[in-house]
Amino acid sequence: MVHRGALSDFIDDLQAAGRLTFTREDAMTALGVTAGALKQAALRLAKRRRLVSPRRGFFIIVPLEYREAGAPPVDRWLPELLRFHGARELEREVEGGEVVVTVDRFLRAMSVGQHRVRFRVETVRR
């Protein structure tokens, strides 16, 4: 079980160091907890709008100034999300209010807070 405030302290420390993302493995290692305990603690923080998890095992810290939007701007977390998936960004543009990212492998579209991100796949020729 995660002692009260442990995950909150962990994300405060990450944010103070300039990081807004972390993986389930990062937190489990740092806190020495099980996946189930981490999930429960993360759900509590998500209800308080401090965390959002657009993909299983990947978390985005929501700083106070972005709570209304539900997440920080896409450019603050997208590179880490792509790295988490082993994908490479080839191009990024905004179309009709959503961010469209051309990547080198299939990823499903997502909504993170008020942000909508759609992925296009382009095979990379070597």
For 32, phi then psi, to 5°, come to 65, 45
- pLDDT score for 3: 57
Identify the band that residue 123 occupies on the pLDDT scale cut at 50, 70 and 90.
confident
Burial of 83 (0-12, 13-18, 19+ CB in 10 A): middle
Indicate if the pLDDT at residue 124 is higher than 90: no
pTM: 0.90
| Integer Cα distance of 62 and 106 in angstroms | 26
